[in-house]
Structure 1
Amino acid sequence: MEDNLFTATGTPDPMDKEGLMSALESLLFAAGEPVKRSDCMRILGISEGAMEEILTLYRQDLEATKRGIRLLELENRLQLGTKERNTVYLKELLGVNERQSLSKGALECLAIIAFKQPVTRVEIDEIRGVNSDYVLTKLQEKGLIKGVGRKDAPGRPKLYGTTDEFLIQFGFSSLKEMRKENPLPEKLVEMDLRKKEMEQESLELFEEDEN
């Protein structure tokens, strides 16, 4: 990329890199929630290449100065978050204790949703072998999952997916990154194989009936 930053129209930007980093930080801090990368580019008046350079410099600055915040990149959105090493202080401030952490069942349910989304409660129950109503309710209360639509099937069951809060809490910038760093849980692999086997058996029986 060129030494000078340019706007989307090709006009030299009057702000220097430090000024743009400062403006970006103020923008994300004031928003308090994820902001689309494209909106940041539009507001700052810079190109995609310039935006990437500013983000790289900002990440480096946050790390070099040991600041208490970090830059979160959630799919195509940006947000400010706190450094993981400061979690203990935030828990003390918010009065959070370890008993409020996720149970084994909740983590199991969350993993299924993260890897299989969008997924219905019945599909989750089939994999876990138990009813997941209570766990799903708790995960929604914590803001880790949400309803993402209805499945085109009898009864139109609700579909679940993970939220930005899930990515933030577990330190992922995207679902793609999560799946790349973490292989599909063995239980899900076994369930997928069994489901395919059952579908194949049903198809074979159907073909035999026709003959």
Structure 2
Amino acid sequence: MDIKEVESIIEGVLFASGYALHINKLAEILQIDKDTLRSILARMMDYYNYERRGIQIIEIDDCYQFCTRPEHYEYIQKIVEPRQKQGLSKAALETVAIIAYNQPITRSGIEEIRGVNCDSAIRSLLERGLIEESGRLDAPGKPILYKTTQEFLRCFGLKSLKDLPQIYPLDTSFIDREE
């Protein structure tokens, strides 16, 4: 196959799937090696961005997906049914941040950091597909471990967890200390 045909197949497969496809699955479908495929995908991504097309290919954690350009949101929302979902509560945002930076983590681990019960926040995050169960801790009671999902990465505009902002230790040097 020549490059143009491979690009055409990639476009068709990504469009038809409607969701992100892992590089391994794309390589299997196209029967080409991952390095070549990554190179082709990078070129396609550059093309869509350079030409300022209405769609783009995004990469999220080694998965690729077609999506519309964020700057066209105000026009696209006029034809798409508005979602009834509200934004995340402060508790849910705190909880998903704790999970993102400490995954995999148990409910009790989250509650230890937050200092309050997190049942409602975890339930909300599970319903939205932002977190998922990732096994059980080998400890008494075998508590469930939670981790973030690709949907979390997509919603927060991250390619991978490596793109999370770095957390710096709190500077307490300005606090007067009685000695």
Q: TM-score, normalised by structure 2?
A: 0.84
Is the 2:111–2:117 contact (alpha carbons within 8 Å) kept by the matching residues of 1? yes
Is the 1:41–1:51 contact (alpha carbons within 8 Å) kept by the matching residues of 2? yes
Aligned to 2:51: 65
Shift in CA distance, 154/88, structure 1 to aligned 2, threshold 3 Å: farther
Q: Relative contact order, CA 8 A, sep 6+: which one is greater?
A: 2
Between the aligned partners of 2:122 and 2:70, the Cα distance in structure 1 is: 26
Between the aligned partners of 1:110 and 1:40, the Cα distance in structure 2 is: 30
Aligned to 2:65: 79
Q: What SS class does the counterpart of residue 172 from structure 1 fall into?
A: coil
Q: Which runs of 4+ in 1 moved over 4 A?
A: 89-92
1:150 partner amino acid: R
Q: CA deviation at 1:21?
A: 1.6
Aligned to 1:196: none
Give the gaps of 5 or more residues in structure 1: 1-13, 188-211
Between the aligned partners of 1:84 and 1:108, the Cα distance in structure 2 is: 25
Aligned to 1:55: 41
Is the 1:72–1:168 contact (alpha carbons within 8 Å) kept by the matching residues of 2? no
Q: TM-score, normalised by structure 1?
A: 0.72
The alignment covers a number of residue pairs equal to: 169
Aligned to 1:130: 116
Between the aligned partners of 1:183 and 1:165, the Cα distance in structure 2 is: 21
Between the aligned partners of 2:162 and 2:45, the Cα distance in structure 1 is: 20
2:32 to 46, 51, 54: 46
Between the aligned partners of 2:140 and 2:33, the Cα distance in structure 1 is: 47
Cα RMSD (Å): 2.1
Q: CA deviation at 1:64?
A: 2.0
2:82 partner amino acid: G
Give the gaps of 5 or more residues in structure 2: 171-179
Structure with the greater alpha carbon radius of gyration: 1
Is the 2:45–2:58 contact (alpha carbons within 8 Å) kept by the matching residues of 1? no
Indicate the percent of aligned positions where both proteins have the same amino acid: 38
